[in-house]
Structure 1
Amino acid sequence: MDKRITNEAGLTPKLDADQINALLRRAYPQLNAEFSDYVTLEVFAGGCTVRLNANERHLRPGDTVSGPSLFTLADIGGYVCVLSHAGPDALSVTTSLNINFVRKAPPGPIDGHCRIIKLGRNLMVFEIDMKAGPDGLTVAHATGTYAIPPKTSA
């Protein structure tokens, strides 16, 4: 299924992937500290693709990527969607995030395909499908909501 077909009509990104990665380095430097584990790969109308480059720092016993690492990927996907589509106000915050872990996530790249379900003036609702491994199977799926701060008049 083409991810672009299922997006809400009329959503146009205001920032591209490179601009988002630069913004995250400035506004949220602790996300990647000395590593580049979480990155934005693509921003498109109504969504984005983010990646976790999962390595030994992200593993729990059993050689599986930890739930908190996948949860962070889901949250970053929503954050990238709100920043790229509602505007670069770094003060947007998560108000809810619901995650389902589907199968073991092996170390290596895990791609989060994020789609905006609804973008309003105050809230953005999204879903993200996280895929990994040689077969690109879903390892986790999440839905969430971001609060968008009110626009201030200049």
Structure 2
Amino acid sequence: MDMAMDAQALNTFLATDFAQVASQYRVESAARDRLVARLLVGDQHLRPGGTVSGPSIFALADVAIYCAILSRIGPVALAVTTNASIDFMRKPEAGRDLLAECRVLKLGRSLAVAEALIFSEGAAQPVARCSMTYSIPSKKQENSAL
């Protein structure tokens, strides 16, 4: 299957359909086997002690995996997370954006499974690992909801 959306199309989709958070995230690259997304870390993402909060790391993983799936299936706004598991492995480095490197492991008609490794920019060791399953609505479900 060819790519349905490249990084520019994904960023445009986020800006249009998820304007409330789009300024915090950017898809850096999208290829068939890998997508990289960035959390533009700001004060709103920090917890006491100056580290990036767990919910912010989880949100990056969710946005990045969602975009990795859309890169393959196209702009399906109603695809939703049905299962998620995250391991927080080390403290993110202060003052750096976070990057999520994602792979789609299985892409079916109604479910997609993907994983993301989250890194502090420039660091070799991941700060978190996340796996997620997404439910993909049928074309009929997507069209009736719009």
The match for 1:60 among 44, 47, 62 is: 47
- Quick one: percent identity of the two aligned structures? 38
2:59 corresponds to which of 63, 72, 96? 72
Q: How high is the TM-score relative to the length of structure 2? A: 0.90
Please tell me the residue identity of whatever aligns with 2:68: C
> How far is the alpha carbon of 1:16 from its aligned partner?
0.4
Quick one: distance in 2 between partners of 1:12 and 1:91? 21
- Provide the alpha-carbon RMSD of the alignment: 1.7
Does structure 2 conserve the Cα–Cα contact (< 8 Å) formed by 1:64 and 1:105? yes
Match of 1:105 in 2: 92
Q: Deviations over 1:2-37 (max 9, x none)?
A: xxxxxxxxx4311100000001111111113xxx22
Higher helix share: 2
Give 3-state SS (helix, strand or coil) of 1:20's partner: helix
* TM score, norm. by length of structure 1: 0.85
Tell me the alpha carbon deviations over residues 73-126 of structure 1, each in whole angstroms, 9 at most, x when there is no partner: 010011101211112111110101110101001232111000000000001100
Structure 2, unmatched stretches of 5+, are none
Residue identity matched to 1:30: Q
1:108 touches 1:133 (CA, 8 Å); kept in 2?
yes
Q: Secondary structure at the match of 2:65?
A: helix
| Contact 2:101–2:117, Cα closer than 8 Å, also in 1 | yes
Conserved 8 A contact 1:105-1:133: no
* Match 1:150 to one of 129, 138, 143: 138
User: Does 1:83 pair with 2:73?
Assistant: no
Query: How many pairs are equivalent?
Result: 141
- 8 Å contact from structure 1 (residues 125, 144) kept in 2: yes
